[in-house]
Amino acid sequence: MIFRQLFEPLSSTYTYLLGDEDTGQAVLIDPVIATMDRDLAEVRRLGLTLAFTVDTHIHADHITAALEMKRAVGSKIAAPAHDRLACVDLGLEEGRPFKVGGIVLQPLHTPGHTDGHFAYVLAGRVFTGDALLIDGCGRTDFQNGDAEALYKSVREKLFALPGETLVYPAHDYQGRFVSSIAQEKMRNPRLGGETTVDEFKSIMASLNLPYPAFIDYAVPGNRLCGVCPPDLPDKLAGYCRQMTHSPQG
């Protein structure tokens, strides 16, 4: 299998490219609209065809490239069935493996950051979305977030995976790329070690994070599988599609 970890710097998002050499099919997990031309070029450069985009959840900090990639190269859109988005071609559910050529992802419902959040397990790796970050986790104060649910998702589902499973998060803000289940179980300051659910709830309640700059545009846009709003203020223009070639030529 071909594997690439791609980075979108404005929202510090990781996009994961999985390629099946036998069928030439590729999957992108959490592609970002701002970097879609770069990511499609990478798929092409590797000699692959994009079969599916897959999102872990309805993002609040960037716009998914799912819909624009479908328009550009005919890829299908997979996303958690839980969110019931009309624009999705394939709704993913726990217990139903998602197969693209030789690539097999096991969807795991991991609510808490959002209620419809999913992680995806792939032999030896887990794409944890915003449920589990390196030494951290996604916030739980928007989008039906629920600290108790997140505690259970991480401790009962993600931490039940083999310790050597590599953890690939949806974001990192400090230049870290990968962790492991064993390392997060031991070291994660919010969710690791002996932390109790009440301790976790009080940590999450006292974070005092600012209101997300892009959420009011991102969530409605992502409920449509990735539509940039027409009324985007200039200071947020970087969140939308960056054309490699200008339409004027």
Per CB under 5 A, residues contacting Fe ion are 59, 130
Between 130 and 172, CB nearer to Fe ion: 130
Between 117 and 157, CB nearer to Fe ion: 117
Closest distance between Fe ion and the C-beta of residue 137, in Å? 10
CA distance 191 to 38: 35
Between 101 and 151, CB nearer to Fe ion: 151
Q: Which two three-digit tokens encode residue 190?
A: 């919010």
Between 25 and 56, CB nearer to Fe ion: 56
Closest distance between Fe ion and the C-beta of residue 119, in Å? 12
How many alpha carbons lie under 13 Å from residue 22 in its C-beta half-sphere? 5
Report CA 118 to chain centroid distance, whole Å.
8
H-helix or E-strand containing 42? helix 36-45
Short-list 163, 161, 79, CA closest to 114: 79
Residue whose Cβ sits closest to Fe ion: 130
Closest distance between Fe ion and the C-beta of residue 140, in Å? 11
Q: Is the dihedral of CA 245, 8, 52, 5 positive or negative?
A: positive
Q: Which two three-digit tokens encode residue 67?
A: 């819909």
Closest distance between Fe ion and the C-beta of residue 10, in Å? 14
Q: Which two three-digit tokens encode residue 166?
A: 């590599």
Between 70 and 171, CB nearer to Fe ion: 171
Which ranges in 174-227 belong to alpha helices (H)? 181-187, 197-205, 215-223
Query: Residue 39: what are its φ and ψ, rounded to 5°?
Result: -70, -40
Neighbour count for residue 88 (Cβ, 10 Å): 18
Between 56 and 165, CB nearer to Fe ion: 56
Closest distance between Fe ion and the C-beta of residue 109, in Å? 15
Closest distance between Fe ion and the C-beta of residue 68, in Å? 19
